[in-house]
Structures are given as C-alpha cells and as structure tokens.
A and B are shown apart, each in its own frame.
Chain A
Amino acid sequence: MRRDNPIEGVDRVYEVFARKDRADRFEHVGTVQAPSAELARVYAWQTYDEANWFEMAVAPRDAFSRVNREEAPFTLGGAPPVGAGSDADFEGPAGYGGAPVR
C-alpha cells in the first residue's frame, strides 16, 4: 500500500502565495507538493525564493471552494489535482495525525 511506503507517503498540493511589501496584495507564485503543511512551508520558502518576501503563505489546493466554475481553482482545464483527491479523501500518514490544515 502506498501509505505504508515511508518515502512515497501521501502528498497534497499546496498553493503558494506571497507579497513583497506590506502594502502589496498577495500574489499566487506557484505550488508545492508536500505530505504536511510544515514541509509545504519549507518547500515553498526554499523554492520560491526569487524575492525577499515580506510575507508568504501556503494553503492546500483542496481547501479552496469553487465559486463559479465546476473544476477546482488553480487547475487547468478541470484536471484533478496532482497526487491528491478531495479534502474528504485525504488521510495523513498513519500516526502523524494527518490533520488537514486549517
């Protein structure tokens, strides 16, 4: 089973947002795949280091609610998110608590 594999684990897609200045709005700068919000933060900070960000935040893609389109936000042509199902399907690796990010 995939969940028994310590390396493959269960990844979730996180959307990464950042702003350069307090006065700026957040911009969407990219995505990372990670097994936890903690690693998502690390990956985001180290991957999208093109600016000296004032603030950066990550959110799991499946936490976004659709408003006017059928497909999930941030997907092209309605393709399913990479590596993860819906919020309800998500289970963290056994024993890790697997708490979805609030």
Chain B
Amino acid sequence: MSDVQEAARSFKSAEEVPESVRGPLGSLLLVLADNKRLLGMRYADWILGSPALEAGIACSAMAQDEWGHGRTLYAMTGDFGFDPHHLEHEREPGEYRSSELLDRPVESWPELLALNLLFDTALSVQFEAMAGSSFEPIHYKVRKLLDEERFHFEHGRGWTRRLAATEKGREGLARAFEPVWVACLRWFGPSDDPLVAELEAAGIVDAGPDALRARWLARVAPEVERAGLGLAEEAGGGWRSATSAAWDGDWRPGWRRGAEEGGPDEDTIRRVRGDRNRSLLMD
C-alpha cells in the first residue's frame, strides 16, 4: 500500500499486469505451486503409518488439499509465460523451485509436524499477503485455499502441543523443528529481494520479506514457545527469532532456494510428475 500510484491500480486479468511485474509474479506462482505439490507428497507419505488412524486421514486430506492448490497455481502460470503441462509432467528434479526442506522424504512424525506447523504456515502467510492483491483473479483462490489451510495449522498445532507434553516428545520436536525454523525464515527472502520489491510496489502482495517474516513469527512463535523449543522469544509486544536467516551468494530470489544442485529426490519427482500414468495423459 506504500506505493500510491501502483497500489491504486488493480488488474482484472494477467494481460493487464505490467510487463515488469509479470516475471516476478510468474516466479512466485511457480514457487508456490512447486512447494504445494512437494508438500502434498510429503503429507501423502504419512497417510499410512502415522501415529493415529485419524492423523492418517488428516494427512490424506492435507495432501489432497495441497495438490488441489498446486493444480490451481500451475494453471495460473500459463498466463505468465509458462507451459503448465510441461511444469507438471516434464521437469527434472533440479528444475523444481520447492524449498530444500522438501527435497527428501520425511523420516519422523515430528519432522512432518515441523513442515505442517512451520512451513505450511509460511506458505499460507505468503498467500495471505495476496488476499487483497491488485491481481484480482487470485482473490477467490486465495480465500478458498486459506479456508482449507486453517485446518492444516490446527492439525500442526494440536499435534505439537501433544508431543510437547512429554519429555520424549519435546526432544523429538526440538530436533525436527530447528532446521525447518531456519529454512522458513530464509524462505521469505532477504529484506531487499528485488522480485518481492516489484510485487509489493505493484500491490500484488501487501508486504515484503521482513513484514511477512514477522507475520509468520506471530503465528508460529507462540506455539514453539509454549512447546519450550527455545526458537523464539517475546520482545516488545512481538516475537523475535532466536536465530536469524542468512543468504549467501547462491540464493536465487525467483526460486526461493539456493543454487545447490539436486532438488527433490528422483523417486518423489517420478511420482509428482505422474510418470506411471504417462501413457494415459491427454492434452
């Protein structure tokens, strides 16, 4: 809202979005789509074998939700110079823009909770920043998505509280949450992220990386504090993270991850791409 000239405008379709903003917006949509898709796969891995039958059902529902969100987002990228079919079915692991947090299968329930409570919430905070976006076609989608995400957050919170009630559970949480915490802080990008600056100036998002980090902290810090994980502390009416994020020269703003090689594991990508159904795919 800071940039009066741009914020006053709104875009009824992708064609109306100024050229300088189209690239950053397309990147953001793709980053979000890839994260949704990979996160869905990580939830899906726990449909069977989670600690309770009900938790398995929850993982199934969350996996379906994430894939639904992903599909919507991939479809939108088509208006920003991408080929959704190629994005969904024809990419190599190194081409995915999902967080490095999702590169490997989740080994333990506390790790899944870390993704559930911390990273899924980071994605939701990013979507919330587009609830009143100048890019109007996204309004309804964001609203519907956030409606579903409310239950993802409650699931993560409920299980975190449950595990935090015991010494053993708390230890598991502490081990799992620490690396995810740092990666989430980083995921919003450095304060001067050039792509986010374009998006903010055009009113596509209503806040930049620092403000989004603060919103994310406000959402998750009370829970990790309550769980006694020592990752954040109250400071002047708000929350301060015990660690801060760092971005080295490898950080790619359009990817929200570093340039390290790899990406998600091959097996996951085969499943994500739907390789088993390739012969059935119709254009």
Chain A interface (Cβ < 8 Å from any Cβ of B): 3-9, 11, 32-36, 38-39, 41-43, 45-47, 49, 92-96
Main secondary structure of the interface of B (DSSP, over half): helix
Say yes or no: A95-B54 contact (C-beta < 8 A), given A39-B159, A42-B158.
no
A36 touches B161 (CB 8 A): yes
In addition to A34-B158, A38-B157, A39-B158, 19 A-B residue pairs with Cβ atoms within 8 Å of each other are A4-B168, A6-B162, A6-B163, A6-B166, A35-B162, A39-B154, A39-B155, A42-B151, A42-B158, A43-B57, A46-B57, A46-B58, A46-B151, A47-B57, A93-B165, A94-B165, A95-B164, A95-B165, A95-B166
Interface string of B150-188 (1 = CB under 8 A from A): 010011011101111111110010000000000000000
The 5 closest A-B pairs by CB, nearest first: A6-B169, A93-B165, A46-B61, A39-B158, A43-B54
A93 touches B158 (CB 8 A): no
Q: How close is A45's CB to chain B, nearest CB, in angstroms?
A: 6
B165 touches A9 (CB 8 A): yes
Q: In whole angstroms, how far apart are the Cα atoms of A36 and B60 in the complex?
A: 20
Q: Which residues of B contact A8 (CB under 8 A)?
A: 51
A43 touches B58 (CB 8 A): yes
Q: Which residue of A lies closest to B109 (CB)?
A: A7
B166 touches A93 (CB 8 A): yes
Q: In whole angstroms, how far apart are the Cα atoms of A39 and B157 in the complex?
A: 9
A36 touches B162 (CB 8 A): yes
Q: How close is B106's CB to chain A, nearest CB, in angstroms?
A: 15
Q: Which residue of B lies closest to A1 (CB)?
A: B166
Q: In whole angstroms, how far apart are the Cα atoms of A32 and B52 in the complex?
A: 11
Q: Which residues of A contact B54 (CB under 8 A)?
A: 32-34, 39, 43, 47
Q: Which residues of B contact A7 (CB under 8 A)?
A: 51, 109, 169
Say yes or no: A9-B154 contact (C-beta < 8 A), given A33-B52, A42-B58.
no
Q: How close is A51's CB to chain B, nearest CB, in angstroms?
A: 15
Q: Which residues of A contact B159 (CB under 8 A)?
A: 39
Say yes or no: A42-B172 contact (C-beta < 8 A), given A9-B165, A47-B54, A96-B161.
no
Q: Which residues of A contact B51 (CB under 8 A)?
A: 7-8
A93 touches B58 (CB 8 A): no
Q: In whole angstroms, how far apart are the Cα atoms of A35 and B155 in the complex?
A: 11
B57 touches A93 (CB 8 A): no
Q: Which residues of B contact A93 (CB under 8 A)?
A: 162, 165-166
Q: Which residue of B lies closest to A95 (CB)?
A: B165
Q: In whole angstroms, how far apart are the Cα atoms of A48 and B191 in the complex?
A: 43
Q: In whole angstroms, how far apart are the Cα atoms of A96 and B163 in the complex?
A: 9
Q: Which residues of A contact B164 (CB under 8 A)?
A: 95-96
19 A–B contacts from the bound complex (CB under 8 Å): A5-B166, A7-B169, A9-B165, A11-B52, A33-B53, A36-B161, A38-B158, A38-B161, A39-B158, A42-B58, A42-B151, A42-B155, A43-B57, A45-B151, A93-B162, A94-B165, A94-B166, A95-B165, A96-B162
Say yes or no: A49-B165 contact (C-beta < 8 A), given A33-B52, A33-B54, A42-B151.
no
Q: In whole angstroms, how far apart are the Cα atoms of A41 and B159 in the complex?
A: 13
Q: How close is B175's CB to chain A, nearest CB, in angstroms?
A: 13
Q: Which residues of B contact A42 (CB under 8 A)?
A: 58, 151, 154-155, 158
